[in-house]
Structure 1
Amino acid sequence: MSAAETRALIERYYAAFNAGDAEGMLACLAEDAVHDVNQGPRRIGRPAFAAFCAHMARCYRETLSEMVIMVAPDGRRAAAEFIVDGTYLATDEGLPEARGQTYRLPAGAFLAVQDGAITRVTTYYNLKDWEAQVLG
């Protein structure tokens, strides 16, 4: 894929995220895509990613803003930096109690792309910052 094609794929992926369209996100992923979050286990494959999306939709309502996407010249890797604007809807296991708290959190992701699909998404954010916001 070219860098422009990779950028368009990443833009579709995050547009689907902002639309709450898990199926649209899944359509951007390779069947055996790897998903790593900084607080949690590695998930492999679309079914595991779909289960993660369902869990997230139950516990959180989030949109991403201030998106900056950077793509390697060969189109095989990309990074995205963004702000997560969210509402904590339902208590997530091991985390503070949810009471509809809102939060605004800087975050980023590294992505790998091959054959027109995202093969890896690694997401980073500051969990202590999020906890301070929802406990505050």
Structure 2
Amino acid sequence: MTSPAARTDAIALLARYYAAFNAGDWQGMLDCLSEDVAHDVNQGDRVVGKAAFAEFLKHMERCYKERLEGIVLMASEDGTRAAAEFVVHGAYLATDEGLPEASGQKYVLPAGAFIGIEGGKIARLTMYYNLADWTRQVVGE
């Protein structure tokens, strides 16, 4: 049976997660995740587990400085599925493997996430943004 608060709880979880992101509070983000979280990296592989996600955050912190604006959060009635849409305002700080050279280029990129929630934690995070758009912005085309 669906709890009347399930949708509200899911939205509150995501609000905490994205507020932690914007604050650079990596531990706060990790606290929102299940131990075996599945992270589908945009146009990349799935990585599983909080430790793998923490490594991803370290990598992102080295290569990018990002802030999310215009965040819109949505959740299913039962609170097990959710989505987030936002605009990433970022700077490309250090060259990421397989991507163009970094020199502090700025970018503004629409993005989103599909999220699975289990036991009050984010159990799956599937990210999406348009890599071709990001590449055009950082190479100056």
1:134 aligns with 2:138: yes
Structure 1 match to 2:126: 122
- Sequence identity (%): 61
Q: For the residues of structure 1 that align with 2:41 and 2:139, how far apart are their CA atoms?
A: 22
Stretches of 4+ aligned residues off by more than 2 angstroms: none
Query: Counterparts of 2:53 and 2:35 in 1: how far apart (Å)?
Result: 10
Aligned residue number for residue 108 of structure 2: 104
1:87 aligned residue: 91
Which residue is 1:6 aligned to? Answer: 10
1:59 pairs, out of 41, 60, 63, with 63
Q: Which amino acid aligns with 1:39?
A: Q
Once the two structures are superposed, residues 14-41 of structure 1 have per-residue CA deviations (whole angstroms, 9 ceiling, x without a partner) of: 0011011111100000000000022221
Is 1:31–2:50 an aligned residue pair?
no
- Relative to the length of structure 1, the TM-score reads 0.98
Give 1:72's aligned residue. 76
For residues 124 and 70 of structure 1, what CA distance do their matches in structure 2 show? Answer: 16
Partner of 2:53: 49
Q: Distance in 2 between matches of 1:28 and 1:113?
A: 10
Let me know the Cα RMSD of the aligned residues: 0.8
State the AA in 1 paired with 2:71: M
Q: Provide Cα deviations, 1:27-70, integer angstroms capped at 9, x if missing partner.
A: 00000000002222111000000000000000000010001111
Deviations 1:81-115 (A, max 9, x none): 00000000000000000000000000000001011
Higher gyration radius (CA): 2
Query: How far, CA to CA, are the matches of 2:25 and 2:44 in structure 1?
Result: 22
| CA distance, structure 2, for counterparts of residue 104 and residue 46 of structure 1 | 28
Q: TM-score, normalised to structure 2's length?
A: 0.95
Aligned partners of 1:38 and 1:28: how far apart in 2?
Answer: 20
Q: Which amino acid aligns with 1:45?
A: G
